[in-house]
């Protein structure tokens, strides 16, 4: 599915759903096959706490200190992290042996980081600037619902 079409569909889901964050995670997981695991982390005090997620397996990293791992780095800097090869990044906290690349998109509300979208792929170098732009729009849509 192309990203513009996906945004239109997600907007439609959001206008009807009472489980917006869960439905958005479902939508991304079901429509983009290269997204092998998707989770929403919520900022609580100095930690990222795992919220809704979809994937074949649960992660052991359900509470990540801000500043730790790829997720914690993105939460600290407020910047998108695109990691083409997770095994080449010393910050990486491993969840699944199958994961090869990762993207993390901070979710901001009034310039404050309230959470993030974390996506793993089983393909090396799966994520492009196009994914980042698309997922930043999704993050903006989710920010009101975190």
Using the minimum distance from each CB to ligand SME, give the nearer residue, 10 or 118. 118
Does the footprint of ligand SME cover residue 101 (CB under 6 A)? no
Does the footprint of ligand SME cover residue 120 (CB under 6 A)? yes
Count CA atoms closer than 13 A to 60's CA, side-chain side: 5
Find, among 106, 115, 108, 135, the residue nearest to 34 by Cα.
135
Does the footprint of ligand SME cover residue 116 (CB under 6 A)? no
Region near ligand SME per CB under 6 A, out of 13-21, 68-76, 107-115, 130-138: 68-76
Does the footprint of ligand SME cover residue 93 (CB under 6 A)? yes
Cβ–Cβ under 8 Å, residues 38 and 53:
yes
Q: Which of 39, 66, 100, 113 binds ligand SME (CB under 6 A)?
A: 39
Does the footprint of ligand SME cover residue 61 (CB under 6 A)? yes
Give the separation between CA 19 and CA 51, rounded to whole angstroms.
Answer: 12
Q: Which residue is at the shortest CB distance from ligand SME?
A: 69
Give the separation between CA 72 and CA 136, rounded to whole angstroms.
Answer: 17
Cβ–Cβ under 8 Å, residues 31 and 6:
yes
Instruction: Summarize as ranges the residues that interact with ligand SME (CB under 6 A).
Output: 37, 39, 59, 61, 64, 69-72, 92-93, 95, 102, 118, 120
């Amino acid at each position: 599915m192309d990203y513009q079409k996906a945004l239109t569909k997600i907007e439609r889901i959001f206008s009807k759903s009472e489980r917006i964050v869960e439905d958005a995670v479902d939508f991304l997981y079901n429509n983009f096959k290269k997204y092998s695991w998707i989770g929403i982390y919520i900022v609580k005090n100095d930690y990222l706490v795992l919220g809704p997620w979809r994937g074949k397996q649960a992660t052991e990293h359900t509470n990540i200190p801000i500043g730790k791992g790829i997720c914690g780095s993105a939460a600290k800097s407020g910047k998108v992290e695109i990691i083409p090869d997770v095994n080449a990044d010393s910050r990486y906290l491993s969840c699944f042996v199958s994961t090869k690349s990762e993207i993390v998109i901070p979710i901001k509300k009034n310039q404050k980081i309230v959470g993030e979208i974390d996506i793993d792929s089983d393909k090396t170098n799966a994520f492009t600037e196009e994914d980042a732009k698309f997922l930043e729009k999704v993050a903006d849509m989710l920010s009101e619902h975190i």
